[in-house]
C-alpha cells in the first residue's frame, strides 16, 4: 500500500511544482528532459536524438534554462546541457518509463 501524500507539506511547494509542470507540458521540452536523464549532452546530440529542428530546440532549451531546469556548459563552440535538479531527473525518468514504449496499457474504452 502506498503512503498517503502529506497535503500540508505538498501545499508549501505547490506553486513551484505547478510552474515546473507548466514548463514541462510542451512535448519538445519533455523530450529534451528525457534525453538528458542519461546525462549531459551537446545541443547537436540532443537535436539528433529527438529530431527537432535546431531553432525550435534552441527556443525550448532557452525556456528550460530560464526556468532553472537545465544547466548549460560551454566548451569552445559547443554547449552541453544537463538537468539541474535530481528531483527533476527522478520525475522525468518516471514519466518516460511510465509512458515509454513498453507501457502500452489499455486506454479507457479499449478492448485488449
Task: Give pLDDT tens digits for 41-90.
Answer: 999 999 999 999 999 999 999 999 999 999 999 999 999 999 998 988 99
What is the reported pLDDT for 97? 84
65 vs 13: CA distance, rounded Å: 20
- Split at pLDDT 50, 70, 90, the class of 111 is very low
Q: Name the percent of the chain lying above pLDDT 90.
A: 61
Distance of CA 26 to the CA centre of its chain: 9
Please state which architecture CATH assigns to domain 18-93. Orthogonal Bundle (1.10)
What is the reported pLDDT for 81? 97
Show contacts of 94-99: CB within 8 Å, 24+ apart.
95/30, 95/34, 96/34, 96/37
What is the reported pLDDT for 2? 72
pTM for the full predicted model: 0.79
Collect all residues with Cβ–Cβ distance below 8 Å to 82 and sequence separation of at least 6. Answer: 36, 39, 40, 41, 70, 71, 73
- Per-domain residue ranges for the chain? 18-93
Lowest mean pLDDT: which of 22-26, 36-40, 63-67, 98-102? 98-102
Amino acid at each position: 500500500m502506498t503512503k498517503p501524500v502529506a497535503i500540508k507539506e505538498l501545499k508549501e511547494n505547490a506553486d513551484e511544482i505547478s510552474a515546473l509542470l507548466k514548463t514541462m507540458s510542451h512535448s519538445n521540452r519533455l523530450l529534451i528532459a528525457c534525453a538528458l536523464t542519461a546525462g549531459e549532452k551537446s545541443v547537436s546530440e540532443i537535436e539528433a536524438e529527438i529530431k527537432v529542428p535546431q531553432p525550435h530546440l534552441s527556443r525550448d532549451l532557452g525556456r528550460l534554462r530560464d526556468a532553472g531546469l537545465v544547466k548549460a556548459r560551454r566548451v569552445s563552440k559547443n554547449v552541453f546541457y544537463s538537468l539541474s535538479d535530481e528531483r527533476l531527473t527522478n520525475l522525468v525518468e518516471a514519466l518516460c518509463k511510465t509512458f515509454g514504449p513498453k507501457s502500452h496499457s489499455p486506454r479507457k474504452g479499449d478492448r485488449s
